[in-house]
Amino acid sequence: MKNSKIQKHTIMKIKITSFLTALILSGTFLAPSRASAFSDLLAFGDSLSDNGPADGFGITTFSNGPVWLDYLAGSSHLNISLTDLACVGATSGTDNPYAAAYINPALLNTGMLSQVNSYLTLTGSHISSNTLVALWAGANDLFNSRSYIDAVSNIGSAIQSLDGAGARNFLVLNLPNIGVTPYFQAGDPTVAAGATAWSQAFNATLGAELSTLESLHPSDHFFTPDIYSFTASVTADPAAYGLSSVSAMYWANDPFSPGLHPSTAGHSLIANYVATTVPEPSSWGLLVGGAGSLLASRRQRQR
């Protein structure tokens, strides 16, 4: 009788081992499907995030291909739907002087705060707690000679409004060193130095604002990739990131500001980096955990 139980237990172990081996050979363990901690991605911002009007929002894309949000929401990263309300030229506030002057006067009120207000009106001020909300703004406040303090305050106000509508997950990017972009490096060194100083002051103020918001909303999650440091790393060693040169990070054929906006290769690198700062679980852990539970269950039955 005892030998019979041992034999059955051994046979069951062989079957389970064969099952797990088949999963490995089939690639299920080696190439797990992507899953996400979020149901969708909702974005607000300026030309660094505008992916065009195809989804009913946005104006145009200032790059030679997909922007970072397209890559981040795609199957290689979060694999979730994207709603991108970012507009080329948008300030962090309510207005968009660039779009109004060069594209259509009707676009004057498409700044980031206006984007947020319009979306909340459209949805009845409701955002799922599983939505990842991305905000990236501030550069156009610099270009319009505005205060970095006011720009950060606008971002804080946007987060407060979105939190009030139910958002609990915020992806907030700081600014790269705008002064070292090829666009500024080709001009007046004093102006470039001023852009660098503004970027640094903005980032420091934004960091303090986000710390305050974290303390005010302890149930919220803030993901804050350091774009300033990341782009500095790319600039220092572009080959390490698969780029032929620093200029490959930027869109050279930008008709208005060549060398200011990232190329699609640059956007892809940004997305890869940002993805490392947000939860991105795969089915690997679930599958291994499930297999472990199966083994434990089988062992219990044999006792």
Asked if residue 35 lies in contact with residue 283, where contact means CB atoms within 8 angstroms, the answer is yes
Q: Tell me the pLDDT band of 35, cut-offs 50, 70 and 90.
A: low
Q: What percentage of the chain carries pLDDT values higher than 70?
A: 81
* Residue 296 pLDDT exceeds 80: no
For the stretch 133-161, pLDDT in tens is 999 999 999 999 999 999 999 999 999 99
Q: Which amino acid is at 288?
A: V
Q: What is the pLDDT of residue 54?
A: 83
* Residue 14 pLDDT exceeds 60: no
For the stretch 220-256, pLDDT in tens is 999 999 999 999 999 999 999 999 999 999 999 988 8
Mean pLDDT of the 186-190 span: 97
pTM, two decimals, is: 0.82
Q: Out of 28-32, 92-96, 162-166, pick the least confident.
A: 28-32
- 225-228 LR contacts (CB < 8 Å, sep 24+): 225/171, 225/173, 225/174, 225/273, 225/274, 225/276, 225/277, 226/174, 227/173, 227/174, 227/175, 227/176, 227/270, 227/273, 228/174, 228/175, 228/176, 228/177, 228/199, 228/200, 228/203
Question: So where are the chain's domains?
Answer: 40-285
Q: What percentage of the chain carries pLDDT values higher than 90?
A: 77
Mean pLDDT of the 174-194 span: 97
CATH 3.40.50.1110 fits 40-285, yes or no: yes
Q: Are strands 131-136 and 40-45 parallel, antiparallel or unpaired?
A: parallel
